[in-house]
Each structure stands twice: as C-alpha cells, then as structure tokens.
Amino acid sequence: MHELPITESILKIVLAHAERNDVRRVMTIHLQVGKLSDLEDEWIQRYFDYLSKGTIAQGAELKIERTPITLQCNACAASYPVAIANLSDSACPACGQKDSKLISGREYYIKNMEVQ
C-alpha cells in the first residue's frame, strides 16, 4: 500500500547516482527488501514505470532480492532464519529459548544498478 512513496525515493536516489556517473540510460536496478515488508514487487515496477517516464531511468527493470527474516537468540546469541508464518511461534534451534531479537528482514536498500 505504501509502494508509491518508496518508489519515489528509489527514483530520486537512482537519478542522483546516474547524474554523478554520467549515465545515459539506467537498465536494471538491484534492490534488497526484507521479507517482513508487505511491498508488492509488481506494484513497485508499475509505479516506477509511471514515475520514471521522461527520465534516463525510463524502462529500467527493478530486480528485488528478498532478504530473509533472521532472529538472534537473546540467550545463546545464535542467529537463525525464520519464515514469516512461524515468526510469532519460533524458538532458537540451538538452545530452545524463545526470547530473540530481529536482526534482519526490514531492509529497504538499493544495492547497485546496471547502466549505459
């Protein structure tokens, strides 16, 4: 539901880097988005296509890598991945404790882009 402001922000960052690097055309943009985010990949691309019209990023493809949800056990410090469906009932595979903190899964990150 909040794809629009996220996409605006992506375009702004991409265009700033393109300008600094004498880019004529942006072809592919690689993003990392945490699995905890409810973003729909398809909608990000659609908003991007709309917002980027007339810029050098027009026609660029967004490739979204979903980073896993990783918890770290507060008892033994082991870190372990967890599926979103099991998030509210997960125990540390090493020691069985349930007290943990989230160490990844909320990322919104632009990694790199392929350009001409």
Partner 1 sequence: MENVRLIEVKEEIMADNNQVAAGVRERLRNTKTMLLNLMSSPGSGKTSLILRTVEGLKGAVKLGVIEADIDSTVDAEKVAARGIPAIQLRTGGFCHLDATMVTQGIDALAAKELDLIIIENVGNLVCPAEFDTGAHKNVMILSVPEGDDKPLKYPLMFTICDVLLVNKIDYLSLSDFDMAALRKRVLTLNPNIKIIEVSCKTGAGIEDWIAWLKKEVEAFRLG
Residues that bind partner 1 (CB under 8 A): 1-2, 5-6, 9-10, 12-14, 17-18, 21, 23-24, 27, 29, 31, 36-38, 74, 84-85, 87-90, 98-100, 102, 106, 108-116
Per the document, the length of the chain is 116
Residues 40 and 78: beta-carbon distance below 8 Å? no
CB closer to partner 1 out of 22 and 54: 22
Please state the closest distance from residue 49 (CB atom) to partner 1, in A: 17
- Beta bridge partners, 104, equal 70
Report in angstroms how near the CB of residue 57 gets to partner 1 at its nearest: 12
Q: Is the CB of 52 or the CB of 115 nearer to partner 1?
A: 115
Instruction: Please answer whether residues 106 and 34 qualify as being in contact, where contact means their C-beta atoms are separated by less than 8 angstroms.
Output: yes
Give min distance, CB of 50 to partner 1, in A: 16
Residue 65 pairs in a beta bridge with 32
Q: What are phi and psi of 48, to 5 degrees?
A: -65, -45
CB of 54 to partner 1, least distance (A): 21
